[in-house]
Amino acid sequence: MIQKFCLMVNSKCYKDQILMDGNPKGIVVHSTGANNPYLKRYIQPADGYPDYDRILADIGVNKYHNDWNRIDTKSNPNYVCPHAIIGKNDKDEIECYQILPFEFCCYGCGKGDKGSYNTDPAYIQFEICEDDLTNPKYFEQVMDTAIEFCATLVFLYNIPIKNIVSHKEAHKLGYASNHRDIEHWANRYGWTMDLFRDKVRSLSEAGEKNVKELKPSLSEAGVCLSEADEKKEKLYKVQVGAYSKRLNAEMMVNKLKYKNIDSFIVEC
Return the range that interacts with Zn ion (CB under 5 A); candidates 12-20, 71-79, 162-170, 217-225.
162-170
Residue 88 near Zn ion by CB under 5 A: no
Chain centroid to Cα 94, Å, comes to 15
Question: Is the bond leading into 182 cis (omega within 30 degrees of zero)?
Answer: yes
Residue 179 near Zn ion by CB under 5 A: yes
Give the x-and-dash track for 107-146 against Zn ion (CB under 5 A): ----------------------------------------
* Run of H or E including 96: strand 94-98
Residue 171 near Zn ion by CB under 5 A: no
Residue 181 near Zn ion by CB under 5 A: yes
Alpha-carbon separation of residue 159 from 24, 164, 264 (angstroms): 7, 8, 30
User: Using CA atoms, how far apart are residues 187 and 28, in angstroms rounded to an integer?
Assistant: 17
In the region spanning residues 14 to 33, those forming contacts with Zn ion, defined by CB under 5 A, are 30
CB of 203 to Zn ion, least distance (A): 23
Residue 40 near Zn ion by CB under 5 A: no
What are the two backbone dihedrals, phi and then psi, of residue 112, each rounded to the nearest 5 degrees?
Answer: -120, -165
Return the range that interacts with Zn ion (CB under 5 A); candidates 98-106, 110-118, 130-138, 179-187.
179-187
Q: For the chain, what is the total number of helices (H) and then of strands (E)?
A: 7, 8
SS (H, E, C) 239-251: ECCCCCCHHHHHH
CB of 32 to Zn ion, least distance (A): 8
CB closer to Zn ion out of 148 and 181: 181
Footprint of Zn ion (CB under 5 A):
30, 167, 179, 181
